[in-house]
Structure 1
Amino acid sequence: MTDRRAALAASIANAILESSRQHEACSLLAAETLIQAEAMRQQFELTGRRPWDAKGAVIN
């Protein structure tokens, strides 16, 4: 009985740890996205151009 409880407790602890890592990764991604959005906004204010306004290259 104790082994099952220990295994269950270990499984729960691992799930909590993994969830915590995923929440941390999401937070880092959100922070990086915010930095990139701010950089694009500043670039637009300076140049009046957005990255998606660029014309694509055609390769023949």
Structure 2
Amino acid sequence: MRSYTPPRYRVMLVKESGATGGDVRISDSNKAHRFLAPLFEGLDREHFLVVGLDAKHAVIGINTVSI
């Protein structure tokens, strides 16, 4: 009898727009709030976002994980 081998997946980061984070650096919760608050204005349900940062806390991307 063969043993079960689970499927393997690869997750890749793909840039979807020409927009960049620019020089936005998020080093504390107040800066995170100021940067992210406009993204949540007017939404009618909860969104869970992940903000990718480089080693110097500069924004490199935002991903919507779930709505």
Question: TM-score, normalised on structure 2?
Answer: 0.23
Q: Which structure shows the bigger proportion of residues in helix conformation?
A: 1
Q: Which has the higher contact order (CA 8 A, sep 6+)?
A: 2
Greater share of strand: 2
